[in-house]
Amino acid sequence: MTGGIMSDETTGAPELDLAYYSERALAFGIDVSLAVLGYLLTLKVAFPQHDVLLNPHAVAWSWLWIGLFIVYQAFANAHGRTSWGKALMGIRVCDLEGKPLSLGQSSARSAGYLVSGVSYLGFVWPLFNQRVQAWHDLLAKTLVVQKESRAGRPLVVAGAWAVVAVVLTHWAWVFVLSGPYYRVRTIANAHAGLDILADLERRYYKDNGEYTGNLFALADVSGRPQAFLASMGMIFDTSRGLSLEPRGQGVRISAFARDRNSTPVQLDLP
């Protein structure tokens, strides 16, 4: 069922005009998009020295914003209020009798997003549910209804399919594509880090006639010791080690990338 009238024969309550799944999807997509925008902007403002896609604080920041999103949804849909996305789509959340949610019931529904989002299946469940309920609706015993009866809107349906496409793309990125991408990128960054160390070794050799096995000596050569050492910690998995081994007229630089497998990387000079 994708929307329509639910009569009192189903719930014992007055007739409720259920929201279409397309309206729900688009409303949720609007709310999520605003949250993602806030996450990206605040992550960049809070940690301007890091690339957003490789920010070491990204996971913790994501959980912070997930928490904020849940709190916002709980407050926004309680006592007859609606979230921004639902307000734009002209829909609201109510209990099974059509009454506004208490803050407690709205909080339970909002927390249920975590259950629905485990595999995304909970968010498409309304397509198979007679009352157009997602898993979080079933947990909190809620419905999503239209504020006033109206005919279906083709533009809303088209917009909702666009949201579904975005959600599916996000799912593919999170569960399929992001792992290989970040692995390739972090390993590439590690090799770039080796090139930086190699350049500093050459400069040290030019000034001293030999290569060094001391990372702090290279930090001094860089001209910005603290920033250099901090950057090495972001480029390499220093907990696994970073070695500089002078070998006669050359030096071997060995380190580990910051990917999940701590991939070893190595460069020999000259």
DSSP string, 150-218: ----HHHHHHHHHHHHHHHHHHHIIIIIHHHHHHHHHHHHHHHHHHHHHHHHHHHHHHHSS----HHHH
Band of residue 11 on the pLDDT scale cut at 50, 70, 90: very low
Mean pLDDT to the nearest integer, 40-63: 84
Expressed in angstroms, the distance from the first to the final Cα of the chain is 69
pLDDT at 227 over 80: yes
Band of residue 4 on the pLDDT scale cut at 50, 70, 90: low
The first and second tokens of residue 78, run together, are 């309680």
Which residues, in sequence order, are CB contacts of 130 under 8 Å at separation 6+? 1, 10
Mean pLDDT of the chain: 87
Distance (Å, rounded) from C-alpha 3 to C-alpha 132?
A: 7
State pLDDT tens for residues 174-211. Answer: 677 877 888 899 999 999 999 999 999 999 999 999 99
Give pairs for 65-68: CB < 8 Å, separation 24+. Answer: 65/35, 65/38, 65/39, 66/114, 68/35, 68/38
Range of weakest confidence among 107-121, 122-136, 166-180, 229-243? 166-180
Per cent of the chain over pLDDT 70 is: 88
Range of weakest confidence among 8-22, 45-59, 116-130? 8-22
The first and second tokens of residue 112, run together, are 């249920």
Highest mean pLDDT among 46-55, 69-78, 148-157, 160-169: 69-78
Give the predicted TM-score (pTM) of the model: 0.58
The closest alpha carbon to 255, from 191, 196, 210, belongs to 191
Mean pLDDT to the nearest integer, 131-152: 85
Band of residue 145 on the pLDDT scale cut at 50, 70, 90: very high
Distance (Å, rounded) from C-alpha 118 to C-alpha 135?
A: 11
The first and second tokens of residue 69, run together, are 């999103």
Judged by DSSP in three states, 6 sits in strand
Task: Give me the pLDDT at residue 40, please.
Answer: 87
Cα separations in angstroms, 262 against 213, 239, 242 = 22, 10, 12
Task: Give me the pLDDT at residue 18, please.
Answer: 92
The first and second tokens of residue 157, run together, are 């349906």
pLDDT at 12 over 60: no
